[in-house]
Amino acid sequence: MVRVKRWKKSRDEYMDSHLMELQRFLPSLTIPLEEETSGTPTSTLTSQTGTTLYSRRFVLLEETGVTRPSDDRISRLESQILAVSRILTREIQNLNRRIVDMEDALGDITGLRTDIKRRANREEALTLLVERLKSIALPNPEVRVLKTGPRELRARVVIDDTEKYFDYLKAVADVVGELYRKYDLEMEVMLFQRSELLGFEEDIEKTIKL
Residues that bind another protein (CB under 8 A): 101-102, 105, 108-109, 112-113, 116, 151, 165-166, 169-170, 173-174, 176-177, 180-181, 184-188, 190-192, 196, 200
Question: Is residue 150 classed as helix, strand or coil in its secondary structure?
Answer: coil
Rounded to the nearest 5 percent, the helix, strand and coil shares of the chain are 60, 15, 30
CB of 80 to another protein, least distance (A): 28
Per-residue exposure over 93-121, b if at least 16 CB sit within 10 Å of its own CB, e if not: eeeeeeeeeeeeeeeeeeebeeeeeebee
Q: Is residue 14 packed enough to be buried (19+ CB in 10 Å), middle (13-18) or exposed (0-12)?
A: exposed
Q: Name the residue nearer to another protein (CB basis): 6 or 113.
A: 113
Q: Closest separation between CB of residue 119 and another protein, Å?
A: 12
Decide: helix, strand or coil at residue 3.
helix
User: 156, 115, 163: which is closest to 133 by C-alpha?
Assistant: 156
Closest approach, Cβ 74 to another protein, in A, equals 38
Q: Which is nearer to another protein, 59 or 116 (CB)?
A: 116
> Would you state the torsion angle of the CA atoms of residues 34, 37, 39, 45, taken in this order, to the nearest 10 degrees?
-140
Cβ nearer to another protein, comparing 34 with 196: 196
Q: What's the min distance (Å) between Cβ of 171 and another protein?
A: 10
* Residue among 133 and 187 whose Cβ is closer to another protein: 187
Residue 165 C-beta: closest distance to another protein, Å = 8
| Between 59 and 190, CB nearer to another protein | 190
Residue 65: strand, helix, or coil: coil
- Shortest distance (Å) from residue 148 CB to another protein: 12
Strand partners, 144: 156, 207
Please identify, using beta-carbon distances, which residue of 56 and 144 lies nearer to another protein: 144
Question: Cα(178)–Cα(108) distance, rounded to whole angstroms?
Answer: 14
